Amino acid sequence: MNIAKRKILKAASELFLEGGIAALSVRSIAKKAGVSTIGIYSHFQGKEGILDELYIQGFELVMQAMDFERKALSAKDIMLKGVRGYFAMAEAHEGHYRLIFGENDNRYTPSEEAKAVAEKAFGQLLKVTALLLPDNASMALKQKNALEIWAFVHGYVSLKHHAVASIFETPDWYAMAEEAVSVHIDAILAKPENQP
């Protein structure tokens, strides 16, 4: 990706973080990125193209967070390592994270290409979660467990990003989340139907 595109995406992500979709216009993105509005259209065909690229990048970052060497790790350790990677991604790329997980107030609908990347990211989570289950576990069970773990993790990230977080004595949201997910993983592993 060339420098101009990176500058445009960085500016759009920062603007999104500051004010959501309402803060994004071709003019405001161009001004923040130091490029012309023509540059925005030539690189991304406008605001929708920029949002799609941020959305795709966001889910690619989620996949990268859960893609690592798994040798010599237990299924639980693999899952927890993926959770830590997810937290690191959410922290380092907050604008992307907020966009891909719904803070777009229905003014943006991802393209089919962007939706396909989101599905692929969920597939990565399914693969990691499936390690907690017997080989013959149904897809429905894999999906259920993946969604439960994702709900835990996303809930803690959202709380940390939310204004309500300021009313608490700066808890370590990610440590609390990791502990909660760890307990939930133990519960998954202990269920008789999940025994090999």
Task: Express each pLDDT in 171-188 by its tens digit.
Answer: 687 888 899 999 999 999
pTM reported for the whole predicted model: 0.84
- What is the pLDDT averaged over residues 70-98? 89
pLDDT at 175: 87
Instruction: Calculate the average pLDDT of the chain.
Output: 87
Mean pLDDT of the region 93-97 = 88
Is the pLDDT confidence value at 21 over 80?
A: yes
CA pseudo-torsion sign 107, 42, 119, 82: negative
Give the helix/strand (H/E) hosting 87.
Answer: helix 75-92
State the fold for domain 52-194: Tetracycline Repressor; domain 2 (1.10.357)
Q: What is the pLDDT of residue 49?
A: 92
Amino acid letter, 22: A
pLDDT tens string 117-169: 999 999 988 888 898 999 889 999 999 999 999 898 888 888 877 756 667 77
User: DSSP character for 95?
Assistant: H
